Structure 1
């Protein structure tokens, strides 16, 4: 049996679906906060409560041979917590290591940890992508907490023999995506002119289906044990090109105004949105050559196929929205 945490989330729910689709005889355990949600017949919900340093995972880990840990306190654009780093540490570091220690004690063979590219940093120079074995350089509380969780998991693997696999995705998109990616799709659907037609950066993204494919492979691949992997679609694009191809996937031409990036950054700084301008105008590339070579893995979905799936999910939501 395989335990999936964060099974109601964007990534975790897709992982559960893929595990069931790959093997209809497989039983999947999902850790849930409370009873009440309906699950497929082969899914065993086990109530654990929140991801906390004191959570008792005994019931959830019974009979489990591998864990896919997707649950986390996620990165948010504006954190209202008085001590955001301490709160991220409490959940993402202490909560994760509490689960991992109990998993090792329960005889779990492999622990797959969904981390974040923010462990590497926030941006790259054009043509100089992050690599899996680069020295970590997180710049925000979320990235720091993920880095510290990784460090603790590696130490635990050395102490206990439980195999740990770490996966660091960049921006993940797909059916049901939210936040900025969903907002961009809505703007394109509505035909809103966007001042993003002259952005010459390069960014790596990963389709949800590609990330899930790698996660499932890392459950069993012998060469994955105690390794760290970066993941992407294998094709980097500028913000301008991404919007054009998102428009094609949505069947709506992207109305892009070629405003220089320098003007965009200045305007964003004036309204306190420099971080948004950085994500739109800056580069963040990842090198997945280690993932390809060590695991023999190739992204099953191209960028355009991933965008079509995301667009289909967006259009389905739009067509089902009956609000005035």
Structure 2
């Protein structure tokens, strides 16, 4: 199968490209940076996987219009090229944050969207445009909403947690009770390929997440065990920690309000719709197996 991927130089793009090539598929990397990118679109592609986008800025330094120009407008332009092409499938990688910044209970695809950030709003506006378009016969549109993606080589909050635990620093946020969904890059790649292979999957929105959610305290313990360390969990009052994070907003401490929210809020995502569509009971890697693989990559590095 000939597959075009935008954003192929990013973490997800690199890993997905390797996975698809390993499964004997041809991958064409399409950059959307140039003004004449349309001329570089592979005419033989049977599917377009649109990963390129502007990620959420935890420092809140980006201009709002940049999110809409990249996440919405570029997506619309690429989709128009898809409609004119012979490709059958269009995958738009959105985000669970396109529907909700915070969630009570478990998030599924029926949730009424109400994002609060420019990132989430730009993703949702792209989704809304795509869903309003009339698809020619034989073409499918998949809007993918992944939760927090991780894997070997990925940087971010997991790496921060690893460094804290590896240095023997006690985890000071143990007083926060939460449950979070994660998505290993291996499970993501598996799902994409299965959707490509299965012609009976209907167009629509699909959440991507591992089968089980974990608390941050469970994650810290998992990191400690994988690193040969003893988990140190400190129950410092929530109010004190929140005050420290507010100071971090002003003087750029490692802990700020945005990072505290990411580390301690509950955000559970259901993956039942895609598993039902594919007729599978479980993803290849459990949440724990995927996280251990990522953690061990930090250790080896």
TM-score of the superposed pair, with normalisation by structure 1: 0.84
Match of 1:74 in 2: 55
Match of 1:42 in 2: none
| Stretch of structure 1 that moved more, 258-267 or 284-293 | 258-267
SS in 2 for 1:145: helix
Instruction: State whether residues 6 and 72 of structure 1, in contact with CA within 8 Å, keep that contact through their aligned partners in structure 2.
Output: yes
Shift of the 124–17 alpha-carbon distance from structure 1 to 2, 3 Å rule, reads same
Instruction: State whether residues 167 and 230 of structure 1, in contact with CA within 8 Å, keep that contact through their aligned partners in structure 2.
Output: yes
Match of 1:141 in 2: 118
Compute the displacement of 1:159 (Å).
4.7
Match of 1:316 in 2: 300
Which deviations, in whole Å up to 9, do the C-alpha atoms of 1:228-260 show, x marking residues without a partner? 111211111111111111221222222221223
| Partner Cα separation in structure 2 for residue 265 and residue 55 of structure 1 | 48
Give the number of aligned pairs. Answer: 292
RMSD: 1.8
SS in 2 for 1:153: helix
Instruction: State whether residues 2 and 68 of structure 1, in contact with CA within 8 Å, keep that contact through their aligned partners in structure 2.
Output: yes
Compute the displacement of 1:142 (Å).
0.8
Gaps of 5+ in 2: 250-255
Compute the displacement of 1:283 (Å).
0.8
TM-score of the superposed pair, with normalisation by structure 2: 0.90
SS in 2 for 1:15: helix
Gaps of 5+ in 1: 32-47, 318-324
| Partner Cα separation in structure 2 for residue 160 and residue 260 of structure 1 | 57
Match of 2:161 in 1: 184
Instruction: State whether residues 170 and 231 of structure 1, in contact with CA within 8 Å, keep that contact through their aligned partners in structure 2.
Output: yes
Instruction: State whether residues 7 and 70 of structure 1, in contact with CA within 8 Å, keep that contact through their aligned partners in structure 2.
Output: yes
| Partner Cα separation in structure 2 for residue 312 and residue 57 of structure 1 | 40
1:1-324 to 2 correspondence within 5 Å?
1-23=2-24, 26-31=25-30, 48-50=31-33, 54-81=35-62, 84-125=63-104, 128-156=105-133, 158-161=134-137, 162-272=139-249, 273-297=256-280, 298-317=282-301
Match of 2:253 in 1: none
| Partner Cα separation in structure 1 for residue 295 and residue 23 of structure 2 | 25
Match of 1:38 in 2: none
